[in-house]
Structure formats: structure tokens, C-alpha cells
A and B are shown apart, each in its own frame.
Chain A
Amino acid sequence: MDRLNKRIAHFSAAPVLILLVAFFVAPLLVIGIYSIMPQKSFSLLAVPDFSSYNAIFVQGYLKSLFWSLVLAFSSTVLLFLLCWPLAYAMAKVFNRFTLIITIAVVVSLFVSENIRLFGWLLTLMKGGLIEGMLRHYTGVGFEGALYNVPIIIFGLVYVYFPFMLFPLMQGIAMIPEDTRQAAFDLGATRWQVLREIELPLATPGIVVGTLLSFVLAAGALAESKLLGGQTVIVLADDIETAFTYGQNWPLGSALSMLLIMIIATIAVFGISRVDIDTIMGRKQS
């Protein structure tokens, strides 16, 4: 029985694994190889060199890495602070409203990222929904809120909102209600309960949400381009340029590897400390 089940499991896992090996792992390996090819070459068979990696340090690409990480970090922190109250309310306070919010958020995810960011462009630009209406009715106008760093962070927060909200909600839902109440009963204040009980017990959700938001934001491109007007260049932007206009695949690959390494370290560190079965609510068998 057990052996049969194991065989079924192996067969079931195979299709999606094959897909991932062929089209996820393999491309990444290729990128790895390209990263140590001589610059501007399109062949995988040349003699390896590290000129691309060298270029990263020498030609100031570290600056875009810096920006990617800083933007990702700030938006993640902001997301955590903004989402926690709502996630808490959805997990512990609201009844039917939780479902409404969930549906609203999920449906918004189905709308293409471009369209949503474009919508913000229309809303925040000079002559846009906010500024245009304001100027029309009150005569007061402003230059438009776009093309600066804060607006990029705003865009990141907007786009990755669901990716922090839902894991947090899941994590908070995992806090047993009795345990919270017992803490109050023993004399703890609201802040003490938050610090001693709620944050520690919601940790799996916090880790997943933070990880997801940070990693996705670090590799984000559209926000800085559309909303930020490229006032800062992020790493993903440089990567795209290297592969397309720059026609320098090795450089692009090296930059990609840089991003991948950083993300991988953070992701592996986070995921290893989390038990996926528990988060997904598996009943203890």
C-alpha cells in the first residue's frame, strides 16, 4: 500500500518537476554560464572570464543594486506596517467583510500590472484625476506627484500589497484565540500581548509575507520605469538593458546572478525556517 502510494507520488511529482527542471533550472544554469563568458560574446563555449563581474564593481552597477535593495526594503517595511492592522482585522475581527476584502484584492490581482500602474499615472500626473480636478475646482495645482523615489515606493507598496496581506492574515489566523485571551487575563496590556504572543505566533506568516514582498520588489522593474520615470535605475532595469539594447549577454547574466544570489540567500534562509504544511493548515495526522 505504502509502496504503491510512493510510486503514485513520484509519478505525480514528475510532470511539474520536469517542467521546472527544463525551463526554470536550465535557464538559470545557462545564465550562470553566460555570466562567466567574455563580455558581449553570444557563445557559451568561449574561455571563461570574470570580466562581467569585474564590470559590476568597476562600472558602478552596484548603485542600481543598492537602489533595488533600498527600495525593496523600504516598501517591505511600509507594507508590513500598513498590512498588519488590516490583516489582523480580517483574521480576528471582521466576519463577512473579510471575504469581501479578499475577493476585492484577489480580483485586482487579475488586472495586468501595467494597467494598474498606468491608472496611477493617470491619477497622479499633472492634469490627472487628482491634480486636474483640483486645479479645475480650486485653482490650486501642483506639478504632479510622479517621477521621484517616494512614488516608486508607493507603486511597489501598491502592487505587492496582496503578497504581504494574505500571508500575514494566514499567520495571524494561526494564533489560537484562547492563548491571546489567557495573556490578557494574566494581566498583559495590548502592547505586551502583541509583543509576547501575537508577533511570535504569527511568525510563519510574517516570514512568508516579508520574504515574498521583498524578493518580488527587489526584482521589480515597471514601477521605477512607469511611475519613477527612471529617476533611479534599479538592477532589473540594468539587466534588461544589458540583454536588449546593450547586447551584452554576459554582463546581463552576471547582473542577474548577482540578483539571484542575494534573493536566493534570503529566500532559502526564510523558507527553511518555515513549515509549509503548518501554514497551509494541514491537520496533524
Chain B
Amino acid sequence: MKPSHSTKIVLFAYGILAIIFLYLPLLSVSFASVSKARYLTFPIKAYSFKWYTKAFESDTVTDLVIISLKVASIVTIISMVLGFFGALAFARYNWRFRRLFQKVILLPIFFPQAVLGLALLIWFNSLGVIPTWKTAIISHLVWISPITTLIIAIRAYSFDASLEEAARDMGASTFTIFREVTLPLLMPGVISAGLFAFLLSWGNFPLSLFTTGADLTMPEWLYAKMISGYSPLVPTVGMLSISVSLFVIIAALAVVHLMRMLKQARTHMNEGYGRD
């Protein structure tokens, strides 16, 4: 039974409403970041970009960006590798503890991050390790590797095993098969997983809060300032954080688009020269 036309319109409106609702707070933040006043009230009386200038000149902000970037980049790379192999074990091969493995992997996702962060703090302390941005990498990985595993596993589910078997039939070693068959086929999943990993690490707060020690990531700084010692740079830094995320997403999409165009161009070239 198809839904009636009016029902469809209501649902459509509901969807639009949901999107507006999701992004309304960000709108407020963006307005606040260009308000001249030190303490924010709406309607905004004067607009200015001075907070942005201040942010770019600030050493604190620069430090925040660098640390957040360092952590996010390393987390991305490691979680992509862990996720790739984890996905193979999750979805591709049948082995005895696979179902148990699946459930174990999912546990960190279901776990409240603040408690996890605190637990890791205690653990590091017991090991005699002083928390720095390096320990934050580990704590991010605990939460993000299961997510990258899941994302790549989605792709691995539709993996055609016969391709690998054909390669083996032709005499390829396991390593070669991984390099020539498995990895290329799962690559789109690995890339999107990497994207997720970067963005989730970049924006993560609860884990960073407890495990970065004296170092501060952007989300941590924002939180601290929101709780006490409000600085008018808060909305601005917030917007900076969002812009980086947006930039990364758009860059990734652009790269994908470019690669697709390159591939098409190469195919056309080959056809033109009569090569196949």
C-alpha cells in the first residue's frame, strides 16, 4: 500500500525539520564567532572577524590544532590497518570464534566514553605511564578501531571469495593475493573508514579529556572554557574545528571524484590507442 500524497509531504517536512534541528546549534555558533561583542547576546549588534584574527595569532590555538592533528592523523593510519585485518576476521573468513569475535569487537562502541577514558587514565597510571597526546592516540584507537572494522566489514560482506580463490588457483601466494586482490577490492571501505577515523578522532572529547594529560586537544580546550573562564574565542575555535572537518570531507570527495575521472581518462586513452 503506497502512502498517500499528503503523508509523503508530511514525512518530507519531518525530514527537513530534522536536518534543521540538527544544524541549528551550529548556526548559532557561526553567528557567535563573528560577533564583535565579548559576551554574546542575540541579536548581534556588530559583526567582526577580529576573533578569527586573534585565534590565528594565538599560540594556544596553534598548539591545539597541532596536537589535535597529530593525534587524529596517527589514529587514522593505525585504525585503518587494524580495521582492515579486523574486517577480514569479522566478515570474510569462517572460523570458530567468529561470532564471539564480532560481539567482543562491538563492546567498546557500546561503552560510555567518559568511563573508558577514566579507566584508561587509571591504567596508564598503574603502568607508570604519564599521559600525553601519545596516550590519547591509544585511547582513541580503542574506540575507533571497532568502528573502522565495522565499516570495512560492511564492504567485506559483499566480497566475492571466488576472486581470491581464482588467484590462488593461478599460483599466487597469500601475500600476493592480499596485495593484488583483497586490498584493492576493500580499498573504498578502507578509505571511508579512514575518513571516519580522522573525523571522529578530531572531534572526540571524552576520551581526550582524561588521557591527554597536560596536552590539550581542541575539544578539550573548548569544554574547559565553556565550563569556566569563558573566552570569546570559543565560538571561533569551534568554527575552526568544524571547518577542518568540512575541509577534510570535501577534500576526500574531491579526491575520489578526481580519481574516478583519471580512471575514465585512462580507459579512453587505452581505447584510443587500440590497447586493451
Contact = CB atoms under 8 A, between A and B. Distances in A.
Contact of A12 (B22, B86, B118, B123): B86
Chain B interface size range: 35 or more
Contacts of B142: 19-20, 23-24
A219 interface: yes
B22 A280 contact: no
Nearest to A242: B118
Nearest to B2: A93
B158 interface: yes
B112 A216 contact: yes
Interface stretch (A27-35, A46-54, A199-207): A27-35
Given A16-B149, A122-B32, A236-B112, A253 B85 contact: no
Chain A interface size range: 35 or more
A281 interface: yes
Given A20-B104, A129-B28, A280 B115 contact: no
Contacts of B14: 85-86, 89
Interface string B12-42: 1011001101111111110110000000111
Contacts of B106: 271, 276
Interface string B183-227: 000000000000000011011111000000000001100110011
A247 interface: no
Contact of B238 (A23, A118, A131, A158): A118
Given A19-B141, A263-B111, A110 B126 contact: no
Nearest to A103: B249
B112 A259 contact: yes
Contacts of B146: 16, 20
Interface in A8-38: 8-17, 19-20, 23-24, 26-28, 30-31, 34
A119 B42 contact: no
A108 B25 CA distance: 11
25 contacts: A12-B89, A15-B82, A15-B86, A17-B101, A19-B142, A20-B107, A85-B11, A94-B12, A94-B15, A115-B222, A118-B222, A119-B26, A119-B28, A120-B28, A129-B27, A133-B42, A219-B112, A219-B113, A220-B114, A225-B227, A239-B115, A256-B118, A259-B112, A276-B102, A281-B154
Closest 5 CB pairs of A and B: A219-B112, A119-B25, A132-B42, A13-B89, A9-B93
Interface of B: 1, 3, 8, 11-12, 14-15, 18-19, 21-29, 31-32, 40-43, 81-83, 85-86, 88-89, 91-96, 98-99, 101-116, 118-123, 126, 138-139, 141-142, 145-146, 149, 153-154, 157-158, 174, 199-200, 202-206, 218-219, 222-223, 226-227, 234-235, 238, 241-242, 245-246, 249
